[in-house]
Structure 1
Amino acid sequence: MKYWNLKKLNQSTIEKISPLPRSITKTFDKFKQELNPQAEMEALEEFRVSRYQTIASMKYLLAIIIVPLLINQVSKNFLIGPAVDYLWNIKQPGIFLNESQEERALIELQRFEEKLHFEILIGKFPDISSDLIKEKVREKALLITNDYVLESVNAIKNILADILSIGVLSILIISGRRELYILKSFINELIYGLSDTAKAFLIILFTDIFVGFHSPHGWEVVLEIILRHFGLPENRDFIFLFISTFPVVLDTIFKYWIFRYLNRISPSAVATYHSMNE
């Protein structure tokens, strides 16, 4: 049974690219199937293969998503977290991991001072003394220090926990090559089985989000979140260079995929895409 399942999956993966449009080949295949005396048995077997493929793909997809995330959170909260907190409290290496954190802390403290002086000028604190102003600024500086100490410690925890999660994910992928192949075949059938309008809609949605006019702002936010997650300096030159090159490369790869594969498998979907995109 497993051999038959893999054989059917191999055929579905190979046959997804054809010299003729897929709609024409499907019409001929349907006509041949209706004339086949064993069509009912083959349809039942095809249903079993499709069911097996769907269940195996969902199990493997959930495994490669849930297991690394679970390992990440458990190790961060119960294994890596306490060890990093202990070592940080003993060695006390400092407050900031990079200059970007220090700049953000100084800007935050400067804004607090400006807000405090503004409130004094408008009469909100008319009788406040200079010593009390210094005390408030000092309290705010201590709060900012605590916040950035936590951010620095969490960045170290994130790096170690993510490395462990990537290791677990790599083990799952290497040990589950058969399941990965089934998942790939399932995704191919799911994507190429969509209607022409759905394919065109997903293509436009994908390109507008990742390589469209407004994508640089989204990439900038994503990069800043990732850099802060790992405690890396927010180098503006690196961010701008990435934004100016990566979406272009991604757009080129995507256009090549449309020309090389989708145009041969479903030319009507490509025509629908160009019509909707105009």
Structure 2
Amino acid sequence: MKYWNLKKVNKPTVEKLGPIPRSIIKTFEKFKKELDPNAEIEAIEEFRVARYLTVNSIKYLLILILAPVLINQLSKILLFGPFVDYCWNHYQPDMFLNSSQEERAFAELQQFEEKIHFEILIGKINDISYDFAEQQIRIKAVQLAHKYASESADAIKNILSDTFSLGIFIALLVGGKRQISILKSFINEIIYGLSDTAKAFLIILFTDIFVGFHSPHGWEVIIEAILRHFGLPESREFIFLFISTFPVILDTVFKYWIFRYLNRVSPSAVATYHNMNE
């Protein structure tokens, strides 16, 4: 029973084009099914296959998402966190991992110093002595030192825990080939089962977010967050180079998918997409 279900699940979703329109063929197939005396049994069996496909796909998808996330957080808190904190406090390395952190720290300190002098000039702070201003700046400098030392230690923890969770994710993919096949079939059923308008809407939404004319600002924020997450220098040259190349490659791949697969499976969805995009 399970073997038959798996064959049913792995059946290709893409249909080949023929000389007769698919709508006419599907209409005749529908009449043929309704006149078949075994139609009720086949309908029940198809429902069981669909339920088997949905339940197993959702379970495996939750495992792929939750297992690496939980392992990442637990390993960071229980394993790599104490180890990095011990080494950091014992060996006392430099608080800055890169020049970007140093520049941000100096910028924050300079902004705070200008704020102190401004408040003194407008009379918001009554004590206008030089020692008072120096004391406040010194306190702020100590706070920034603790802040960026903690950020540097967190970056090292992130590298270790993310690498560990990535290994777990790859192991789940390698050991779950059968589940991946089921999940792929389930996703294909969802995507190709959408209406033409829904497909066109999702295509436009995806392309406008990731490869649209305003997407470079979003990519810049994402790349800066990733680099800061791993304690890497926030090189403007690298960010601009990535923005000028990766969205173009992604747009080319997406257009190839539309031309190679979607245009063959659902030409009306492609036509709707072009009409909505004009």
Cα separation, 1, equivalents of 2:125 and 2:266:
71
Cα distance change, pair 34–95 in 1 and its aligned pair in 2 (3 A): same
**1:170 is matched with which residue?**
170
Deviations 1:28-63 (A, max 9, x none): 432332233322111111111110000000000000
Cα separation, 2, equivalents of 1:33 and 1:10:
22
Structure of greater relative contact order (alpha carbons < 8 Å, 6+ residues apart): 1
**2:261 is matched with which residue?**
261
1:16 maps to which of 14, 17, 20: 14
TM-score by length of 1: 0.96
CA contact (8 A) 1:72 1:165 kept: yes
Deviations 1:110-146 (A, max 9, x none): 1111111111111112432111111111100000111
Count of residues in Structure 1 that have an aligned counterpart in Structure 2: 276
CA contact (8 A) 2:9 2:185 kept: yes
Matched, 1:115 2:143: no
**2:160 is matched with which residue?**
160
**1:216 is matched with which residue?**
216
Cα distance change, pair 62–22 in 1 and its aligned pair in 2 (3 A): farther
The one-letter code of the counterpart of 2:166 is I
Other structure's SS at 1:128 match: coil
The one-letter code of the counterpart of 1:114 is E
The one-letter code of the counterpart of 2:158 is N
**2:77 is matched with which residue?**
77
Cα separation, 1, equivalents of 2:147 and 2:79:
22
Shift of 1:22: 5.2
Shift of 1:23: 4.1
**1:92 is matched with which residue?**
92
Give the RMSD, CA atoms, in angstroms.
Answer: 1.3
Other structure's SS at 2:10 match: helix
Cα distance change, pair 140–38 in 1 and its aligned pair in 2 (3 A): same
The one-letter code of the counterpart of 1:198 is A
CA contact (8 A) 1:22 1:266 kept: no
Structure 1 runs not aligned, ≥5 long: none
CA contact (8 A) 1:17 1:261 kept: no
Matched, 1:228 2:228: yes
Identity of aligned residues (%): 69
Cα separation, 1, equivalents of 2:74 and 2:30:
52
